[in-house]
Structure 1
């Protein structure tokens, strides 16, 4: 960043770390679409030697324009003064790439603010550490990603924190019953995952919010939701009662299976305490990963749309195959069912990740996975390539057998994440793999 531009930025109050004033949000009364804003929002080339795209700012610290400015910045960072830090301080707190990325992420969910983290789990851990204290009870939907369950049940459990859960898809009265079971214990947070991993079951966010308002009329817990499976394109939880949205940016947002990152998105008030915790423990995204995510955001809608179209075609073939017991795909929800009602109210697309239940058990599932030629046998989801895995033996191996059975994480379950390959080629691959199983 040129010295003259830095000086100009400090004089005018416009800094590379904040949205440039000349950024356009609407034209002729039309609010610009997020897919358009991803090409330049939050970045002014004039502040970076005219570079069309943001450079990677590989630096651990930033020079202050004056001692008074340094003091002011640290007052914000340490909480001595309320509000957000006004400039760049130190890469554990902020950086140009990270803050441009956060500005753009907030647009997709219609939020005021966003924070990015070194992984999806570091985002969840930072969020939970911000709000819980010994003696609390965390209430969550089930199932959750296995690492999230381990964090809540084992790691936080050692600190005297308990948990209660309700099944994904539970009704408002069922959720209220679970919330009341907390008794006198403080409930700081309701943590949701929808669709659930790996069964692809939807949580009724509106029912959760209504249950919380009923049981906690004066001091409602925050509602946070892991929206990784549907991403910002197919579900917007903040519009349905959630306070914070969590993402593994590794998945659809990154989209190329070449980085690990996470995010928490919400109102400025809800984000502020999480930011303070991140500043302390240093779970921020690194500059290079942030820069790569900026690249990925430009094609987010294109990639997710193509993957969603492919998934619909593949699942249509799988649902009628004689070796398939059932397909847990949101496009196949039974008309009139509670899941279909949640989908109608909450979702704008069925996604491209689904659960496939084969006839048989582990042997048949393993034979199918080993026979795949285009789809890769790997965990994760949301990449440009199609991935397949066996949750019971892989991502959810650490979940006790009884709980796996209760959550329908069975040995004949295969999780599929459809990519952007040719749909007919994928159908051919799944057809031959099923024949070999």
Structure 2
């Protein structure tokens, strides 16, 4: 795998190799819908290990598929890893990562501001059913992570930045800590993409993505990915993906993901430029009580962001100065921003975590980690930023007008 070329080049071409001499000159990898593949002859000594997709050999699409294999190679090289795995969703990728790294009786240390779906997975599946103990900690302080670790800690699971509070953790410091204690470090890199952050290069053992977000980038395919440099861990992940769970990305979604990664570098530059502009606009607005975006100097971990990131991404959160009625009014007057969950697509999306993505968490849990009813998360798209700012301005004006109207 060639990691010497620039990431913009690898995003376009890695994993797709036209072979005119073999009668295959496809510049774009085709969608291979075949569920099974013909063998040249009966070989009584053939095993699954003998079938090598890197040599163009395939047996059954659950085990490997040409379109999926191409995107798995690309995902690996984008993250600077050796082994890539594509799954049917980000959640499927994360649960596979957990199953590959922990056993009943093990202990996991996790960020307390994890994506609500991941936290619920840990609590409902791993703690209650699989006898895995989990400690949720404020990982913005590495010493807090260290204090939570025990002799039976097998995995440290981080998101950075977190969803939706945009908290960061020091990946390099936590990687060193985990390895000193004999644990593995997994990092969900969905918010940043490999264009803005490379956890493996910082010392992580495993990187996860919801490819639904920036990697695909067009809000038309659900998927997940894992990338690692560790051969033993890759073997476990492959067994779970292909044999035990059969939880792989379908050929058509693999094709869409391959297509999406080609424009990832240019999309991320525009996402970030727009997000920075909007974050500065919001920070200066009287109707906003706080803005959370790593690219702002006011972010409490801006210095760390500059050290371990090469960009600040396209997601930000802000707190409306008001109450839930004001949030409803604000959302109702937006035209360019679409009220929807998810993020990372070319279009701008907006949501209220307390009423949408994090609604399953009890109110006291949300408030304990800092998710108020008026916290709003924005996935900034690639539209013209002036149109996006004008849209926000109209919504703020509507809220102000509502407050000025006399009560009936």
Equivalent residue for 1:36? Answer: 9
Of 229, 245, 249, which residue of structure 1 is paired with 2:207? 245
Does 2:236 correspond to 1:273? yes
1:429 is matched with 391
Q: Could you give the per-residue CA deviations for residues 101-135 of structure 1, whole angstroms, max 9, x where no partner exists?
A: 11111111111111000000000011112222222
Structure 1 gaps of 5+ residues are 1-18, 20-24, 78-82
Matched, 1:95 2:59: no
Task: Please tell me whether the aligned partners of residues 138 and 144 of structure 2 are also in contact (alpha carbons under 8 angstroms).
Answer: no
How far 1:328 moved relative to its partner? 0.2
Contact (CA 8 Å) 2:53, 2:69: kept in 1 or not? no
Structure 2 partner of 1:178: 148
CA contact (8 A) 2:139 2:145 kept: no
* Structure 1 Cα separation of the partners of residues 348 and 49 of structure 2: 47
Q: C-alpha deviations, 1:294-324, integer Å up to 9, x for none?
A: 1111101111111111111111111111100
* Residue pair 1:76, 1:85 contacting (<8 A) in 2 also: no
State the match for 1:385 in structure 2: 347
Aligned partner of 1:300 in structure 2 is: 264
* 8 Å CA contact retained: 1:54, 1:291: yes
Structure 2: distance between partners of 1:121 and 1:283: 11
1:323-342 paired onto structure 2 within 5 Å: 323-334=287-298, 337=300, 339-342=301-304
Instruction: Tell me the CA shift for residue 71 of structure 1.
Output: 4.7
SS in 2 for 1:139: strand
Offset of residue 426 of structure 1:
0.3
Alignment partner, residue 177 of structure 2: 211
Conserved 8 A contact 1:168-1:194: no
2:26 paired residue number:
51
Paired with 2:179 and 2:122, the residues of 1 have a C-alpha distance of 24
Q: Does residue 397 of structure 1 match 2:333?
A: no
Looking at structure 2, the residues matched to 71 and 377 of structure 1 have their Cα atoms a distance apart, in angstroms, of: 56
1:168–1:196 CA contact under 8 A, matched in 2: no
1:96-175 to structure 2, matched below 5 A, reads 96-157=66-127, 158-171=129-142, 173-175=143-145
1:318 aligned residue: 282
Alpha-carbon distance, 1:340 to partner: 2.4
- The answer on whether the counterparts of 2:12 and 2:263 sit within 8 Å (CA) in structure 1 is no
Partner SS, residue 72 of structure 2? helix
Aligned partner of 1:66 in structure 2 is: 41
Deviation (angstroms), 1:268: 4.4
- Would you say the 8 A contact 1:132–1:188 is kept in 2? yes
Distance 1:35 1:71 in 2: 42
Alignment CA distance shift 1:324-1:156 (3 Å): same
Q: Structure 2 stretches of 5 or more lacking a match? A: 400-408
* Cα separation, 2, equivalents of 1:294 and 1:127: 22
TM-score, length basis structure 2: 0.92
Q: How far off its partner does 1:34 sit?
A: 2.1
Tell me the CA shift for residue 243 of structure 1.
0.6
Alpha carbons of structure 1 residues 221 and 430: separation in structure 2 relative to 1, 3 Å:
same
Q: Does 1:356 align with 2:327?
A: no
Once residues 139 and 200 of structure 1 are traced to their aligned partners in structure 2, the CA distance between those partners, rounded to angstroms, is 19
TM-score, with structure 1 as normaliser: 0.86
Aligned equivalents of 1:110 and 1:41: distance in 2?
Answer: 12
C-alpha displacement of 1:272: 1.8
Contact 1:48 1:55 in 2 (8 A): no
Q: CA deviation at 1:75?
A: 4.3
Structure 1 Cα separation of the partners of residues 211 and 118 of structure 2: 16
2:404 corresponds to: none
> Whole-Å Cα distance in 2 between the matches of residues 419 and 188 of structure 1?
38
| SS in structure 2 of the partner of residue 188 of structure 1 | strand
SS of 1:91's partner is coil
Write the distance in 2 (CA, Å) between the matches of 1:71 and 1:101: 30
